Amino acid sequence: MVIAVVGTGGAIIRHVAFDDKDTTPRTESERALLLAVQAVKADPDDSRARIKLAAVYLDIGRINTAVGEAQIATKLAPDDAEAFYILGLANKEKGNLTEAARTLEKAAKMEGKLAPFYQTCWAELARIYLKQEKYKQAIKAYDSALGFGPESAPLLYEMGRAYEKSGDKAKAIVYFEEALQFVPDYKEAQDALAKVKNGKTTAAKPEKPAAK
């Protein structure tokens, strides 16, 4: 008997048991999980298989299992940035932001991947810092993200939000306007720009000290 999990948008919906007469996955999530589990069973020391399995578990919402598989992957392949990236995402979903930031920064500073990977790593790290109200670190991470590949309207908007929250309205306006140059009908950027220009933003909170 094989147990599969049906997931939609990262949420677990139900468990499905396949008996010997029915081993055909019914959804893409089931198929991805079954293939990933089979790959790990075939070679438990295959770090790439572990990374893929962790990613599937993360996608279907089995966060603790995803963390466990990603941790195994980092031990099997301590030089693979993607293993630390998946571990960082899993820890972020688990709510362990400090550990998520540590592993994502490690992934972002490792070599061997293409530019889009590093842009994604730095952007995820920046979002964690923003959530932690560590605005200077968030701005620095967004700047690193924007240094890899073409400029992204969402990242420019998020950088503007970081400056806005830090109290630097002038810089916030610059980034909101730049985001709108790429996507003129970007509603979030339009609204944020209007609020900053009209002085309707909330007062900046004191930045939380960086963890030692």
pLDDT band at 202 (very low <50, low <70, confident <90, very high): low
Task: Give CA–CA dist 105/94, Å, rounded.
Answer: 17
Q: What is the mean pLDDT of the chain?
A: 87
Task: Check if the beta carbon of residue 171 is closer than 8 Å to that of residue 163.
Answer: yes
Q: What is the CA radius of gyration of the chain?
A: 20
pLDDT band at 27 (very low <50, low <70, confident <90, very high): confident
Task: Give CA–CA dist 178/153, Å, rounded.
Answer: 8
pLDDT band at 199 (very low <50, low <70, confident <90, very high): confident
Q: Residue 4: what pLDDT?
A: 34
Mean pLDDT of all residues in 175-181: 97
Residue 9 has pLDDT above 90, yes or no: no
pTM for this entry? 0.80
pLDDT band at 69 (very low <50, low <70, confident <90, very high): very high
The CATH-assigned architecture of domain 1-113 is: Alpha Horseshoe (1.25)
Q: Name the token pair of 149.
A: 């590949």
Per-residue pLDDT tens for 74-118? 999 999 999 999 999 999 999 999 999 999 999 999 999 999 999
Residue 24 has pLDDT above 70, yes or no: no
Q: Residue 37: what pLDDT?
A: 95
The domain spans of the chain are 1-113, 115-212
Mean pLDDT of all residues in 7-16: 31
Task: Check if the beta carbon of residue 101 is closer than 8 Å to that of residue 210.
Answer: no
Q: What single letter denotes the amino acid at residue 76?
A: L
Look at phi and psi of residue 6 and say left if phi exceeds 0, alpha if psi is from -120 to 50, else beta: beta
Q: Residue 206: what pLDDT?
A: 53
Q: Residue 137: what pLDDT?
A: 98
Per-residue pLDDT tens for 115-128? 999 999 999 999 99
Q: Kindly give the residue spans of alpha helices, DSSP state H, lying in 60-152.
A: 63-76, 81-94, 97-109, 115-131, 135-146
Domain 115-212 part of CATH 1.25.40.10: yes
Q: Residue 3: what pLDDT?
A: 32
Mean pLDDT of all residues in 44-53: 97
Task: Give CA–CA dist 79/47, Å, rounded.
Answer: 11
Give the number of C-alpha atoms closer than 13 A to the C-alpha of residue 121, restricted to the C-beta side. 27
